[in-house]
Amino acid sequence: RSTTVPNIDGSLNTEDDDDEDDVVDLAANSLLNKLIRQSLVESSHRVEVLQKDPSSPLYSVKTFEELRLKEELLKGIYAMGFNRPSKIQEMALPMMLAHPPQNLIAQSQSGTGKTAAFVLAMLSRVNALELFPQCLCLAPTYELALQTGRVVERMGKFCVDVEVMYAIRGNRIPRGTEVTKQIIIGTPGTVLDWCFKRKLIDLTKIRVFVLDEADVMIDTQGFSDQSIRIQRALPSECQMLLFSATFEDSVWQFAERIIPDPNVIKLRKEELTLNNIRQYYVLCENRKDKYQALCNIYGGITIGQAIIFCQTRRNAKWLTVEMMQDGHQVSLLSGELTVEQRASIIQRFRDGKEKVLITTNVCARGIDVKQVTIVVNFDLPVNQSEEPDYETYLHRIGRTGRFGKKGLAFNMIEVDKLPLLMKIQDHFNSNIKQLDPEDMDEIE
């Protein structure tokens, strides 16, 4: 593991950092996504629906009014700035709010409106006059639970007397306390403890059970089993809802075990393509040479914003220092930062406070920074056996076909790495043109 020592000026020293960022922390990534997400991710894909009873008519809504929500909830939704349901909400909300309640498994990428949907379902089924837990939501970490709780508070702003409580480690409840809050959000272990050992929650009174971030959940040892134990103690008429951003077989198997008679809704992800990206490479001797090439390019094109990818923390740090010393305004995003620090760096970059973001692989996935027009691979992405990492290459520079603006990608290549680049070119069947960094006219 690396050691991190903050300097007086807040910058960081790191040692021994060659292979860090490869460990992707799913829960941290998910939290980061939430922290930097301010609006919906729109998808052009159709929503696929599998009904538990295929003969029953399929409802969808184009407005929130059609859902016949309580007045105070509708007010809450509009106060959040929502005008109409997102793509997945159009199909999911009628099922979630149906009488009698229906169970649902829903999968779509983060940012498509899943949380808002189940929060709405919880708030619409809660009875403010009854002072005991009625809705239970399981989340993989405390931080993620807190994010969901914030949505409940904002959307439920006008629902007086509806309250949230967090069942998480560290939230100490004195012996003999009666839990009167209607909505409980917590992590599986603590919820289990509160239900069975401490008897703070009576599971037989729960009306809505939500399992959020199922893919992150099953990634954590013990959480699947704990969730299943909780689910088994729920009454049969309790509505059960499961959400996930991804749907590998393991997630699907878990979902089917835990949600009886479900409707299933899926929204496919936009496919990344390299079609509207112009790709170039510059042949270099060594790291200094790469840096020189980068400076030439940087001087040649100052439109828009750029992300520069390095393979290791050490390289990223080195490059950041070099560029700063040359008077460029750059920021460094790397794995040693906390999720909050990362979110704030991404936010500053989005606001255009820095034009260049230098990073390792942490920010290659999941984060869409729309205004980025230039991507530089200061190092080519390779896997452990020094073969090209095609997927990472695609994620770094790929854009969704339909919404994609034109983009530029530059690869800084040491001569001995050229075969790797040729493999990438063949793999994607695309054209990566050689560039003479002294002659930027070729680009335009």
Q: Does 114 bind ligand ADP (CB under 6 A)?
A: yes
Q: Which residues contact 24 (CB under 8 A, 6 or more apart)?
A: 365
Q: Does 82 bind ligand ADP (CB under 6 A)?
A: yes
C-beta closer to ligand ADP: residue 102 or 112: 112
C-alpha 216/C-alpha 223 separation (Å) is 10
Q: Does 324 bind ligand ADP (CB under 6 A)?
A: no
Helix (H) or strand (E) holding 111, with range, is: none
Q: Does 149 bind ligand ADP (CB under 6 A)?
A: no
C-alpha 9/C-alpha 212 separation (Å) is 39
Helix (H) or strand (E) holding 421, with range, is: helix 418-428
C-beta closer to ligand ADP: residue 2 or 400: 400
Number of H helices, E strands in the chain: 14, 19
Contact 19, 12 (CB under 8 A): no
Considering Cα of 104, then 118, then 73, then 37, what sign does the dihedral take? negative
Q: Does 39 bind ligand ADP (CB under 6 A)?
A: yes
C-beta closer to ligand ADP: residue 115 or 360: 115
Q: Does 252 bind ligand ADP (CB under 6 A)?
A: no
Q: Does 40 bind ligand ADP (CB under 6 A)?
A: yes
Among 27, 91, 92, 111, binds ligand ADP (CB under 6 A): 111
Question: 239 has which bridge partners?
Answer: 208
Nearest distance in Å: CB 116, ligand ADP: 4
Q: Does 37 bind ligand ADP (CB under 6 A)?
A: yes
C-beta closer to ligand ADP: residue 33 or 411: 33
C-alpha 46/C-alpha 237 separation (Å) is 31
Radius of gyration in angstroms for the set of CA atoms belonging to the chain, rounded to a whole number? 24
Q: Does 140 bind ligand ADP (CB under 6 A)?
A: no
Residue type, 229: R
Q: Does 364 bind ligand ADP (CB under 6 A)?
A: no
Strand intervals (E) in 236-309: 239-244, 262-267, 272-273, 277-284, 305-309
Q: Does 244 bind ligand ADP (CB under 6 A)?
A: no
Q: Does 85 bind ligand ADP (CB under 6 A)?
A: yes
Q: Does 113 bind ligand ADP (CB under 6 A)?
A: yes
Q: Does 76 bind ligand ADP (CB under 6 A)?
A: no
Nearest distance in Å: CB 83, ligand ADP: 6
Please state whether the peptide bond connecting residue 100 to the residue before it is cis, i.e. omega within 30 degrees of 0: yes
C-beta closer to ligand ADP: residue 61 or 234: 61
> At 154, phi and psi to the nearest 5?
-70, -45
Contact 118, 138 (CB under 8 A): no
Strand order in the sheet with 262-267: 47-50, 262-267, 103-107, 239-244, 208-211, 135-138, 183-186, 164-167
C-beta closer to ligand ADP: residue 112 or 359: 112
Q: Does 86 bind ligand ADP (CB under 6 A)?
A: yes
Structure tokens at 200: 């703070």
Nearest distance in Å: CB 214, ligand ADP: 12
* 3-state SS, residue 193: helix
Q: Does 116 bind ligand ADP (CB under 6 A)?
A: yes
Q: Does 52 bind ligand ADP (CB under 6 A)?
A: no
Q: Is 325 exposed, middle or buried (0-12, 13-18, 19+ CB in 10 A)?
A: exposed
What residues between 156 and 185 interact with ligand ADP by CB under 6 A? none
Q: Does 196 bind ligand ADP (CB under 6 A)?
A: no
C-beta closer to ligand ADP: residue 38 or 325: 38
Select the span of 107-115, 167-175, 183-191, 290-298 touching ligand ADP (CB under 6 A): 107-115
Q: Does 49 bind ligand ADP (CB under 6 A)?
A: no
* 3-state SS, residue 377: strand
Q: How many residues bind ligand ADP (CB under 6 A)?
A: 16
Among 115, 231, 334, 360, binds ligand ADP (CB under 6 A): 115
Residues that bind ligand ADP (CB under 6 A): 37-40, 80, 82, 85-86, 89, 110-116
